[in-house]
Each structure stands twice: as structure tokens, then as C-alpha cells.
């Protein structure tokens, strides 16, 4: 065991272990076989970019060492013994983490005597990579939150297992917050698995070069999320256009359709900040430009929308068709992902395709320069980075190779680097207000202006309920900008009264989400044909506020105006996300950690610190129970009635009303707006 300042290094048993401060209340732990640990640009920022740990200190002992930094104490205990079954001496260094009061937070798996267990298990893979499992003792009483977005209505993750891989509607962000008072980041983009069982916690990487994780201690969830943002990067300040309403559908297939919708919003006096040109506004997948027949004057389109106070967002996919005008160049320059075996077709939606290899800096540069030339030069400054997992036709994670290595070793970096391609390009071009919609994320994505939506989910009540816990967990995992397809993406029928009820309830949920965005592939479909008779990708049915009948419209109109009434408050909440690393959509436990019930409520959330939202998540429900956390007084936004916290109330919820409660007299101008007692569009004091 040796110390270099506050950096501890142990070598033994063929292993190198390094523990060092990485923030004032946090450490980074790395280990590898035989050689030295390496620096890596994954989720963690370089040490010189995180806040210093001025009070960190180390103490060496004969049997190990102690490192103390702020609220965290790390104990390294070295054990050496003669192992009779093999006939030679062995050694091991165990790592354990404690808070400032000496309470055990987390400890590596014990050797178990004759069981001879290994807390850090490396196995060689062909090509020099290592398969790795890191095991920790499990605290059966702790509750766990985070891990990004998985399609399940589960709040406490204890007892769950997670695939560390991305899929359409699954964003694996490997950070977990414990009710015991610590946060843990698995700083490895490898495909793998995380298991939070009662008998042990395990993190597994299919292929890696080293063990790499980060631990912080804090007295509250707010302290832990702040430290995590300091270590992985803060989200930028949300631009003003991100605070209002975004209109979208699959798909507006010509410029006049899109303009008609924006004009109608203005004619009706409806707020609108962003409208979207969805995919296949291009001739071929991977062309990255407007098709002239349907979009003859895109610069004029952008200009007229801007006169209406609306920004155009343009869809960009990383998928490149073999028929694209760019395919040959990208293949020749090795800027596409490569299949490890068999036919090199990675996706066949609308024809055989490959994915742009955004782990290659040259591919990222090419992508931005192409989009700047064909979109940015027209005035477009907001992009929809779809299919960012990427969505392979078959999720054989060992079948693909990137510039940075095999998909097994680096695959989870893809959405982060996809967002970075646009962030780096836009910032270099002088754009100060970057927000891009991305269909996936990994740890650190937030620092690149990534607004993550939950993917192509179905139009069901079950799917809507899942988005509540998904948004909470994404906030814990450091992704404060989150949204969903209001109404769900698949199978919503414009003429179906049952869908109308779901849409209304989802729209109410969306009005109190970090970003409010209406989208979906609605029924019935519409065929699209070019002037020469050749087919184009179909369009879904109408998806505007006025598309579902007058009764539905009156409710949606009320809530899109209510969103505007929230704008000043949302601006403050977004500023706290930017400066202090706090989630925008969060579980009740975040602000009320001393309330035991707050750690278990999975069907409510807080929008910032002062707005409690209890969405209606069941068909036909017209009332619901709401838990009001202890330690505050809560005003019913519908009735103005004030309740003490620490109790359950039965809230009335007719179809046009979502239960919302306001903390300690905050936002009194919202009272009456959920019921229509305050007319839509009434001024905000």
C-alpha cells in the first residue's frame, strides 16, 4: 500500500487498486489486472474539472489505509494468508465506505472463509478485454432509486435486476441513490447487468479494461444528486423555448401542413414554443436534408415560424441507408458501425442500413457539418436526435464494433456521444442555448443539452403509469430534462372515446412534466405519394389539440394555458437543475427524506420543490388518494383548501381536473386554473 498525496494505491495478487478523492465528499475506485489503471472519458469529468477536496487526508497502516474526504470515509483492509489448497501465499484488499458518523454505507463482498469469494472478479476475454463482476454486501433495509429509464412501474429498486444496455424506450444510466445515504456510479459503458438482491449487490461488465466506480456520501438526496452533477457535469440552463408547449406528430409530411398548425395555434390564442419536422422529411435515410418536393423553401418555413414565435425542431437519425447519397463516403472512410459477423445490415426499417459511428470524432464532426450546412444554415437550432440507442434490428450486443472498441465494451456510450456531436458543433458555432431531444441517454448526457424522452411507448394506462417512475428515476440518475409522448406513441385512435380519456389524463401529466410535448403515431394512417407516383413513408392521423372533439379540446386548452402560468416557476426549477444539480421531476423522498412514506409513493411526484402532482392513472377514475408529505402545509390547487402534511386526502378528479397540491402557500396564482375557475389565458400575477 502506498500513498501519493491523497491517492491510495495497492498492488497484490496480480491486481492494482486505486482509490482517490473525486469531489469533496466522493471517491473514485479503479482496479485492473497486472498493469496500471487508466484515465477514461466516460461519465466522470476529469479530476481537475470537479470541485476540489481540500480537507481530504489519508492514513497508512500495516494492514491497510484510511481515506477521509468530507462526509465520506473509506477503509482499505489488506489480508494476507497462506492458502493451503494452492500452496502459496495470497493477498486481498477489501474496500468499505462509511459516513462521517461511522455508519457503514457500502462494503465489498466478504471472502466468506472457505467459500473464498472474490469481490472483484476478472476473467480474460479474447482480444485483451476482461469480463468483470463487482460484488457488494447488501443492506436489506435500504431503498434504491435511479438507474435511468426502464419500462416498469417500480419505485424502490431493491430486489430488481437491470440489463445494462439501451433499447428503444430503455435508457440505462448506471447511477443509484440509496436511502442509507450514498450514491454509486458504475463508470463503465460496457454491456452488462446490475442486480440489487437481498443477499448481495452485483455489477457485471461483459467486456472492459478495468473496474471503475464512484461513490459519494450525503445527508440528503439533494446533497447526493448535487455531488453527482458536480462529478458528471451539470445540465445547461434550459432555453426559454423548453418551458412551453411542443407540438409533434408522426408526421407532418410537407411544410404547408406544419405552417397551418402553427398558424391555427396563433389564431386560437394557444401557446406554442416548438413544432417538429419528423423523420422522412429527407429523400433517403442518411441524406440529412429536406426533400425539395415537399419542403421547397425550408428557410422561409423557419422564418415564418419564428415570426409566429415558434421554433422548428428537425429530426435527425443516425441510420444511413445503403441507398443514401452519403453511404459510400461514410463506408469508405470507416465512419459507420461495423457488424462483427454476417451481413453488415444493422437495421432494415425502410431499407437495409448501417449506423453512423458517433464514437469516432471524425464521424461526429461530419454529422454536425452536414446538419449545419443543410439545417443550421437555414436557421434551425433545435434537433430531434432519434434512435439514439441505437435501435439495432436485432439486439445482439456482441455483433457490432465501433471506433472505440466492441459494442460489448463501449456500447452504452452511444447516446451520450450522439448528443455530444451536436453540442460540440453548436457551441463551436456560437449557439448559447442548446436543447436537443434525444431518445436515450447514458451518464453524462445531461452536460450535452440532452432532453430525453421515453421512447416509443404504447397508448395504454399501464404505459402512462410507468412514465411517472421513469421520470423520477431519470432525475435521480442526473438527467433533469425528461419528457414523454403525451398520449403514448403506438395505437392511439383519434376517434376512440377510450383513447380520448387516456389522452386527457396524459396531457394533464404532461403539463406538469419537465417538458410538455404532444406526439404519437395516431390512427387512422394516411398514405403519402410523390408527384411521380412513387410512395413515401405514411403519415399518422391528426394529433393537434383540436383533433379529438370539442369536449377534449376544452380540457387540453385549459392545461396548455396552465403550462404558461407555470413558466416563471419552471424557469427557477430549471435554474436549480443547472446550477445545483437538482432534478426537475422528483420523488417525494427528495424533498421530504424524513417522511418514511415519501420513499414509497410511486404514483405521485414533485415538479420542483413546491408542486405535488398526483396524476390519474386508471381508466374511469374520478377521485384518488393523495399522500401529502409531513413537514409542510399543502393547498389543493382545485379548491384552495389547505391541508397539513403527514396524511392521506381523498382528492376529487373529474376528467378535466388533475389533483395538484402547492407547498406552503407557493404559486397561489395556480389555484383555480386546474378547474377552469380561472379562465384559460388569464394573466399571471
Residue with cell 461488465: 205
- The gap between the terminal CA atoms of the chain, to the nearest Å, is 64
State yes or no: is 463 an active-site residue.
no
Rounded-to-integer distance, Cα 261 and Cα 380, Å: 18
Collect all residues with Cβ–Cβ distance below 8 Å to 642 and sequence separation of at least 6: 633, 634, 635, 636
User: Which of these, 428, 451, 424, lies nearest to 440 by C-alpha position?
Assistant: 451
Residue with cell 420513499: 599
Catalytic: which of 212, 389, 591, 603? 389
Q: How many Cα atoms within 13 Å fall on the side-chain side of residue 497?
A: 3
Catalytic: which of 142, 386, 387, 591? 386
Collapsed DSSP state (helix, strand, coil) of residue 329: helix
Secondary structure of 352-398 in the HEC alphabet?
A: CEEEECCCCHHHHHHHHHHHHHHCHHHCCCEEEECCCCCCCCCCCCC
Rounded-to-integer distance, Cα 164 and Cα 205, Å: 8
Q: Cα dist. 93→19, 61, 103, 122, 225 in Å?
A: 11, 13, 20, 15, 29
Residue with cell 430525453: 452
Strand order in the sheet with 405-406: 338-339, 400-402, 405-406
Collect all residues with Cβ–Cβ distance below 8 Å to 548 and sequence separation of at least 6: 494, 500, 503, 556
For residue 390, say if its preceding peptide bond is cis, omega within 30 degrees of 0: yes
Helices 497-511/550-565 angle, 10° precision: 10
Secondary structure of 10-36 in the HEC alphabet?
A: EEECCEEEEEEECCCCEEEEEEEECCC
Q: How many helices (H) and strands (E) does the chain have?
A: 12, 43
Rounded-to-integer distance, Cα 321 and Cα 334, Å: 15
Radius of gyration over every alpha carbon of the chain, rounded to an integer in angstroms? 26
Q: Which three cell numbers stand for residue 49?
A: 474539472
State yes or no: is 389 an active-site residue.
yes
User: Which of these, 605, 634, 628, lies nearest to 617 by C-alpha position?
Assistant: 605
Residue 13: count other Cβ atoms within 10 Å of its Cβ.
Answer: 16
| Residue 597 per-residue DSSP state | G
Q: Cα dist. 334→331, 351, 354, 432 in Å?
A: 5, 21, 12, 32
Q: How many residues does the chain have?
A: 685
H or E stretch at 601: none
Catalytic: which of 156, 311, 456, 521? 456
Q: Which residues are catalytic?
A: 386, 389, 456
Amino acid at each position: 500500500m502506498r500513498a501519493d498525496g491523497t491517492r491510495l494505491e495497492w498492488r497484490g495478487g496480480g491486481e492494482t487498486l486505486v482509490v482517490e478523492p473525486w469531489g469533496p465528499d466522493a471517491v473514485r475506485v479503479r482496479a485492473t489486472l497486472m498493469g496500471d489503471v487508466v484515465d477514461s472519458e466516460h461519465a466522470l469529468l476529469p479530476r481537475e474539472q470537479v470541485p476540489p477536496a481540500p480537507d481530504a487526508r489519508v492514513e497508512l497502516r500495516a494492514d491497510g489505509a484510511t481515506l477521509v474526504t468530507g462526509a465520506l470515509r473509506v477503509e482499505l483492509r489488506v489480508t494476507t494468508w497462506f492458502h493451503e489448497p494452492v500452496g502459496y501465499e495470497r493477498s486481498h484488499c477489501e474496500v468499505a465506505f462509511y459516513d462521517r458518523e461511522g455508519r457503514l454505507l457500502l462494503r465489498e463482498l466478504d471472502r466468506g472463509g472457505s467459500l473464498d469469494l472474490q469481490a472483484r472478479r476478472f476473467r480474460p476475454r479474447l482480444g485483451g478485454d476482461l469480463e468483470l463482476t463487482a460484488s457488494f454486501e447488501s443492506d436489506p433495509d435500504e431503498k434504491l432509486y435511479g438507474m435511468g429509464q426502464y419500462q416498469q412501474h417500480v419505485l424502490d429498486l431493491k430486489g430488481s435486476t437491470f440489463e445494462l444496455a439501451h433499447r428503444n424506450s430503455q435508457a440505462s444510466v448506471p447511477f443509484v441513490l440509496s436511502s442509507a445515504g450514498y450514491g454509486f456510479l458504475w463508470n463503465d459503458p460496457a454491456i452488462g447487468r446490475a442486480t440489487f438482491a437481498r443477499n448481495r449487490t452485483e455489477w457485471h461488465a461483459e467486456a472492459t479494461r478495468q473496474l471503475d466506480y464512484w461513490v459519494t456520501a450525503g445527508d440528503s438526496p439533494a446533497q447526493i444528486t448535487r455531488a453527482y452533477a458536480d462529478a458528471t457535469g451539470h445540465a445547461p440552463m434550459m432555453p426559454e423555448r423548453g418551458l412551453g408547449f411542443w407540438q409533434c406528430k408522426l408526421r407532418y409530411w410537407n411544410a404547408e401542413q406544419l405552417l397551418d398548425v402553427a398558424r391555427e395555434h396563433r389564431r386560437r390564442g394557444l401557446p406554442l414554443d416548438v413544432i417538429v419536422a419528423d423523420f422522412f422529411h429527407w429523400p433517403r435515410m442518411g441524406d440529412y436534408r429536406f426533400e425539395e418536393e415537399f419542403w421547397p423553401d425550408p428557410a422561409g418555413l423557419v422564418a415564418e415560424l419564428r415570426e409566429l414565435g415558434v421554433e422548428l425542431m428537425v429530426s435527425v437519425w443516425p441510420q444511413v441507408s445503403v441507398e443514401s447519397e452519403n453511404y459510400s463516403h461514410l463506408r469508405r472512410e470507416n465512419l459507420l458501425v461495423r457488424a462483427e459477423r454476417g451481413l453488415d445490415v444493422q437495421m432494415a426499417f425502410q431499407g437495409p442500413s448501417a449506423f453512423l459511428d458517433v464514437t469516432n470524432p471524425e464521424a461526429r464532426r461530419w454529422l454536425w457539418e452536414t446538419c449545419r450546412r443543410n439545417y443550421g444554415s437555414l436557421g434551425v437550432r433545435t434537433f430531434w436526435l432519434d434512435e439514439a440507442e441505437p435501435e439495432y434490428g436485432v439486439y445482439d450486443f456482441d455483433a457490432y464494433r465501433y471506433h472505440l472498441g466492441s459494442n460489448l465494451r463501449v456500447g452504452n456510450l452511444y447516446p451520450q456521444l450522439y448528443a455530444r456531436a451536436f453540442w460540440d458543433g453548436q457551441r463551436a458555432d456560437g449557439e448559447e442555448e442548446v436543447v436537443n431531444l434525444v431518445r436515450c441517454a447514458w451518464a453524462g448526457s445531461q452536460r450535452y443539452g440532452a432532453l430525453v424522452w421515453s421512447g416509443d411507448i404504447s397508448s395504454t394506462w399501464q404505459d402512462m403509469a410507468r412514465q411517472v417512475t421513469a421520470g423520477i428515476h431519470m432525475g435521480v440518475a442526473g438527467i433533469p430534462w425528461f419528457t414523454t409522448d403525451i398520449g403514448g406513441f403506438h395505437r392511439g385512435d383519434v376517434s376512440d372515446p377510450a383513447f380520448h380519456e387516456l389522452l386527457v389524463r396524459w396531457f394533464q401529466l404532461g403539463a406538469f412534466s419537465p417538458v410538455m410535448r404532444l406526439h404519437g403515431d395516431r390512427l387512422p394512417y394516411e398514405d403519402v405519394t410523390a408527384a411521380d407516383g412513387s410512395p413515401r413513408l405514411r403519415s399518422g392521423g391528426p394529433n393537434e389539440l383540436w383533433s379529438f372533439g370539442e369536449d377534449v379540446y376544452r380540457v387540453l386548452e385549459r392545461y396548455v394555458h396552465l403550462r404558461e402560468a407555470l413558466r416563471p416557476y419552471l424557469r427557477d426549477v430549471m435554474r436549480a437543475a443547472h446550477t445545483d444539480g437538482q432534478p426537475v421531476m422528483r420523488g417525494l423522498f427528495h424533498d421530504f427524506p424524513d417522511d418514511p412514506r415519501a420513499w414509497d409513493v410511486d404514483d405521485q411526484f414533485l415538479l420542483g420543490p413546491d408542486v405535488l402532482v398526483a396524476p390519474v392513472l386508471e381508466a374511469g377514475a374520478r377521485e384518488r388518494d393523495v399522500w401529502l408529505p409531513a413537514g409542510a402545509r399543502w393547498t389543493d390547487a382545485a379548491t384552495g383548501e389547505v391541508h397539513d402534511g403527514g396524511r392521506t386526502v381523498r382528492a376529487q378528479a373529474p376528467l378535466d381536473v388533475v389533483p395538484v397540491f402547492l407547498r406552503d402557500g407557493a404559486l397561489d396564482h395556480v389555484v383555480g386554473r386546474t378547474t377552469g375557475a380561472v379562465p384559460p389565458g388569464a394573466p399571471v400575477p
